[in-house]
Amino acid sequence: MQSNQLSVRNIQLPNLGIGTWAWGDSLFWGYGSNYGETEVQAAFDAAVAAGATFFDTAEVYGLGESEKLIGKFLKQTSQPVQIATKYFPLPWRFNRDAVAEALTASLDRLDVEQVALYQVHMPFDFFMGQETLMTALATEVKKGRILTVGVSNYSAKQMQQAYDYLATYDVPLAVNQVRYSLLTRTIEKNGILDKARELGVTILAYSPLDQGLLTGKYTPEKQEQVTGARKIDPKFSASGLKKIEPILNQLTALGEKYDKTPAQIALNWLIAQGDVIPIPGAKNAKQAQENAGAMGWLLSNEDVKQLSLLSCQ
Q: What is the pLDDT of residues 194-249, one digit of tens each?
A: 999 999 999 999 999 998 899 888 776 666 566 665 666 777 777 778 888 899 99
Residues of the chain above pLDDT 90, percent = 78
In a domain, residue 248? The reply is no
Question: Which of 95-99, 190-194, 210-214 shows the highest mean pLDDT?
Answer: 190-194
In a domain, residue 181? The reply is yes
Q: Return the number of other C-beta atoms located less than 10 Å from residue 58's C-beta.
A: 22
The structural domain count of the chain equals 1
Looking at per-residue pLDDT, the higher value among 52 and 229 belongs to 52
Quick one: which of 139, 171, 145, 177 has its CA closest to 158? 177
Q: What is the pLDDT of residues 125-161, one digit of tens each?
A: 878 899 999 999 999 999 999 999 999 999 999 999 9
In a domain, residue 223? The reply is no
In a domain, residue 100? The reply is yes
Residue 313 has pLDDT above 60, yes or no: no
In a domain, residue 37? The reply is yes
- Say what the pLDDT of residue 238 is: 74
Expressed as residue numbers, the domain containing 53 is 5-213+261-299
Residue 1 has pLDDT above 60, yes or no: no
User: Are 266 and 303 spatial neighbours (Cβ–Cβ below 8 Å)?
Assistant: no
Residue 113 has pLDDT above 80, yes or no: yes
Residue 290 has pLDDT above 70, yes or no: yes
- Say what the pLDDT of residue 44 is: 98
pTM greater than 0.85 (yes/no): yes
Residues of the chain above pLDDT 70, percent = 94
- Say what the pLDDT of residue 224 is: 59
What's the CA angle centered on 219, arms 259 and 50, to 5 degrees? 35
Using the Cα atoms of residue 273, residue 312, residue 289 and residue 293 in order, give the sign of their dihedral.
negative
Residue 152 DSSP SS3: strand
**AA identity, residue 246:** P
Q: Point out the catalytic residue in the list 61, 163, 165, 206.
A: 61
Residue 74 has pLDDT above 70, yes or no: yes
Residue 175 has pLDDT above 60, yes or no: yes
pLDDT band of 93, cuts 50, 70, 90: confident
* CATH code at position 26: 3.20.20.100
In a domain, residue 71? The reply is yes
In a domain, residue 208? The reply is yes
Query: Could you confirm whether 218 is annotated as catalytic?
Result: no
